[in-house]
């Protein structure tokens, strides 16, 4: 368990960034932990107890990560359904299989989202380039942009730096590598950029989606949504439904992760209180639609699509 806790610190410290990467690394760590304790468990109940303890450790690494929680819950839920095979010594093979299943769910979702989202980019070759704005770094947003680029569509991207960890620069570097024109601005220049560059579409990712259709994403996302609302710019959220938090349909509130003040200002003057929320909510009223593997629809419909596409996860709660 101590080794698991030590390895889990890479998620807590943001050495591993992005909701998708966090989810994939968490299920990998669960698999590695299971390998280490194989000789300590003889029955299904033994395994269940140990894996539930491991899940608690991994859940605590990041508060706002339903994609990770859904992945870990999927594995333990599927093990529960196959417990007779566990007692026959197939536990590690089963975990590896279910780990692969969840990884495939994410990759399949990314491919579908890229294909669907790229259709929102015009095909014409007019002189005026289509302009997209984004905030932070989202593998699903990037997948859409990369797909549109591979289809020969002409567009440029305005990307924020995303304080305090500058995750927006990851987006910039990936786009520049494939020849996309990028304009990079500080977070506080969001409204200025929309006004001065005639933005056609704003596209962000998500770390969590609630049953009411509220999206949680990097701090600054709501500001950008308000700018979109003010300037009448379409505002879309690209996300897999695996980032939906099913517990919110039972009254549980999604938490906002508070990060270390040192990420903002190391060795700050004594007496200064520094608040560092990692995420903020974006109300469904400011979201034109989610772009997901289930299609494009109002964010308030997420619960129904999630239950339809991922019934095994819906049974978890």
Same domain? 189 vs 97: no
Same domain? 153 vs 278: yes
Same domain? 140 vs 228: yes
Stretches where the chain sits below pLDDT 70 are 87-88, 125-127, 315-317
Domains contained in the chain, number: 2
Last residue of a domain, one of 113, 133, 148: 113
Same domain? 96 vs 185: no
Position 14 scores a pLDDT of 81
Same domain? 43 vs 81: yes
Q: What is the pTM of this model?
A: 0.91
Position 43 scores a pLDDT of 81
Question: pLDDT digit string (tens) for 207-221?
Answer: 999 999 999 999 999
CATH classification of the domain holding 82: 1.20.120.420
Position 87 scores a pLDDT of 65
The Cα diameter of the chain in Å comes to 68
CATH classification of the domain holding 252: 3.40.50.10470
Position 125 scores a pLDDT of 55
Alpha helices in the chain (DSSP H): 2-12, 19-36, 44-59, 66-81, 83-85, 91-118, 139-150, 168-177, 190-197, 221-231, 302-309, 311-314
Same domain? 123 vs 271: yes
Alpha carbons 190 and 227: distance in angstroms, whole number: 8
Percent of the chain whose pLDDT exceeds 90 = 73
Alpha carbons 166 and 118: distance in angstroms, whole number: 26
Position 317 scores a pLDDT of 47
Same domain? 80 vs 215: no
Q: Is 207 a catalytic residue?
A: yes
Alpha carbons 245 and 303: distance in angstroms, whole number: 9
Q: Which of 136, 187, 200, 288 is catalytic?
A: 136
Question: pLDDT digit string (tens) for 43-55?
Answer: 888 888 889 999 9
Alpha carbons 99 and 24: distance in angstroms, whole number: 8
The order of strands in the sheet holding 235-238 is 181-185, 155-160, 130-134, 201-204, 235-238, 289-292, 295-297
Same domain? 46 vs 127: no
Same domain? 82 vs 139: no
Last residue of a domain, one of 49, 80, 113: 113
Last residue of a domain, one of 78, 113, 148: 113
Long-range contacts of the stretch 172-175 (C-beta < 8 A, 24+): 174/142, 174/146, 175/142, 175/145
Q: Which of 46, 93, 207, 288 is catalytic?
A: 207
Same domain? 170 vs 274: yes
Domain of residue 109, residue span: 2-113
Same domain? 101 vs 169: no
Same domain? 173 vs 287: yes
Position 45 scores a pLDDT of 85
Alpha carbons 99 and 105: distance in angstroms, whole number: 10
| Mean pLDDT, all residues of the chain | 92
């Amino acid at each position: 368990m101590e080794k698991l806790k030590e390895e889990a610190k890479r998620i807590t410290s943001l050495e591993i960034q992005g909701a998708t990467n966090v989810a994939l690394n968490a299920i990998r760590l669960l698999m590695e932990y299971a390998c280490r304790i194989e000789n300590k468990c003889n029955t299904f109940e033994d395994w269940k107890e140990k894996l539930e303890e491991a899940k608690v450790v991994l859940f605590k690494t990041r508060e706002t990560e339903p994609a990770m929680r859904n992945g870990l819950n999927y594995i333990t839920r599927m093990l529960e359904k196959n417990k007779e095979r566990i007692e026959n010594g197939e536990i590690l093979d089963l975990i590896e299989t279910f780990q692969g299943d969840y990884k495939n769910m994410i990759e399949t979702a990314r491919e579908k989202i890229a294909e669907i989202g790229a259709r929102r980019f015009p095909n014409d070759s007019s002189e005026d380039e289509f302009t997209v704005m984004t905030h932070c770094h989202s593998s699903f947003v990037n997948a859409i942009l990369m797909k549109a680029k591979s289809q020969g569509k002409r567009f440029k991207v305005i990307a924020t730096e995303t304080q305090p960890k500058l995750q927006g620069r990851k987006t910039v570097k990936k786009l520049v590598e494939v020849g996309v024109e990028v304009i990079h601005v500080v977070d506080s220049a969001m409204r200025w950029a929309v006004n001065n560059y005639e933005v056609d579409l704003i596209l962000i990712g998500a770390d969590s989606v609630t049953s009411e259709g509220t999206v949680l994403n990097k701090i600054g996302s709501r500001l950008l949504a308000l700018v979109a609302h003010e300037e009448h710019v379409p505002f879309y959220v690209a996300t897999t439904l695996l980032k939906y938090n099913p517990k919110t349909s039972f009254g549980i509130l999604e938490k906002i992760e508070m990060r270390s003040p040192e990420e903002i200002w190391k060795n700050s003057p004594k007496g200064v209180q520094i608040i560092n929320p990692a995420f903020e909510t974006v109300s469904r009223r400011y979201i034109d639609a989610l772009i997901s593997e289930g299609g494009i629809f109002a964010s308030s419909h997420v619960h129904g699509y999630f239950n339809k596409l991922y019934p095994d996860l819906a049974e978890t709660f």
